[in-house]
Amino acid sequence: MSGERGMTFHVWRGEDRASGGFQEHRVAVDEGMVVLDVMFKIQAEAAPDLAVRWNCKAGKCGSCSAEINGRPRLMCMTRVSDLPADEPTAVAPMRTFPLVRDLVTDVSFNYEKAKGIPNVRLGSKDADGTRRMYQEEVERVQEFHKCIECFLCQDVCHVIRDHEENKEAFSGPRFFVRLAALEMHPLDTNDRLELTRAKAGLGFCNITKCCTEVCPEHIKITDNAIVQLKERVVTEYYDPLTWVKRRILGQRPTRIGEKEPAAPSDR
């Protein structure tokens, strides 16, 4: 085929981190191929038991996360034409999660963290029985709903990447994105601020923006989710007047983006 050329891949193989290592494969690659295609080729031609997790192969499901030349990426969205042709490409499993086998890790940490976050609880409906939200309000949240749960932001986050001991008290960027989405939902009535501050461990994050850099959906995790949540926590917990209102008068905290008083429905 046109444009076919040989490339060398170093693919990590093994069942535990100590005894496993990189295995070299020479693969004929074609124009337009992505790294996941290369893994399929290796499975079909050389290593049928090579463990790879994938689903949609279109950047929409977030299953095929790995570290390609040390960078957390989706294998299905990394084109071989963007890799250096004259040196080997290293493909390794995500480092932050326990290894299952080869390129597959046990990401159940994330599903456990998800269990602790209360879902939306919408307030009462409008008089005509409908719910009204406006495109501008919805779009702020939709940015966060783009998250495909590839967990690359979790993988790159230095709070947990080499610090197993922090996992207990830190939910990670994916769940700050989830918390920010809930926080900015125009009709939600749940209060998750204490959870965000204490149980989710927002304070651990020192905004190095590594998560934003690796997000395949280009969600501005740091600026639009984490910083907004941090500002909320500061206002609610460290501003004396708000503290009094909240603790003594029992007022519901103001939500991010909420206009005060609430705008009438003639928008």
Partner 1 sequence: MTVQREERAYDVVVIGAGGAGIRAAIEAKAQGAHTALVCKSLFGKAHTVMAEGGIAAALRNVWKEDGWEVHFRDTMRGGKLLNDWRMAQLHAQEAPDRVLELEEWGAMFDRTKDGLILQRDFGGHRYARLAHVGDRTGLEMIRTLQHRATELGIDVLMECTMQTLLTSDGRVVGAFGYWRQTGAFVLLRAKAVVLATGGVGKAWRVTSNSWEYTGDGMTMAFEAGAELMDMEFVQFHPTGMVWPQSVRGILVTEGVRGDGGTLRNRDGERFMFRYVPEFFRAETADSEAEADRWYEDKKDNRRTPDLLPRDEVARAINAEVKAGRGTPHGGVYLDIASRRSADYIRSRLPSMYHQFKELADVDITKQPMEVGPTLHYIMGGIRVEPDTAASTVPGLFAAGEVAAGMHGSNRLGGNSLSDLLVFGRRAGLAAAEHAKRERAAPAADEREVDLAVERLAAPLERPDGESPYRVHADLQETMHDLVGIIRTRSELEEAAVRIGALRERLDRVGVRGGRRYNPGWNLALDLRSLLTVSECVARAAAMRTESRGGHTREDFPKTDPQWGKVNVVIRRRGGRIELATRPLPEMPEELLRILGEQPKPSDEPAMEATAPARVG
For partner 1, the binding residues (CB under 8 A) are: 1, 15, 30-34, 37, 43-44, 48-63, 77, 79, 100-102, 104, 106-108, 111, 114-115, 118-120, 122, 130-136, 138, 141-142, 145-149, 182, 185, 188, 265, 267
* Nearest residue (CB) to partner 1, 206 versus 265: 265
Query: 100 and 27 in contact (C-beta within 8 Å)?
Result: no
Nearest distance, CB of residue 43 and partner 1, angstroms: 6
3-state secondary structure of 50: coil
* Nearest residue (CB) to partner 1, 107 versus 226: 107
DSSP 181-217: HHHT-TTB----HHIIIIIS-GGG-----HHHHH-TT
* Nearest residue (CB) to partner 1, 218 versus 248: 218
Element (H, E) at 90: strand 89-92
Q: Is the peptide bond before 186 cis (omega within 30 degrees of 0)?
A: no
Tokens at residue 87, please?
A: 């040196």
Q: Return the amino acid letter for 19.
A: S
Q: Return the amino acid letter for 8.
A: T
* Nearest residue (CB) to partner 1, 122 versus 234: 122
The closest alpha carbon to 193, from 184, 183, 185, 205, belongs to 183
Nearest distance, CB of residue 156 and partner 1, angstroms: 19
Nearest distance, CB of residue 228 and partner 1, angstroms: 17
Half-sphere exposure of 177 (CA within 13 A, CB side): 25
Nearest distance, CB of residue 180 and partner 1, angstroms: 13
Nearest distance, CB of residue 59 and partner 1, angstroms: 7
Nearest distance, CB of residue 238 and partner 1, angstroms: 30
Taking residue 250's Cβ as centre, other Cβ atoms within 10 Å add up to: 7
Pairing between strand 89-92 and 5-13?
parallel
* Nearest residue (CB) to partner 1, 56 versus 198: 56
* Nearest residue (CB) to partner 1, 60 versus 245: 60
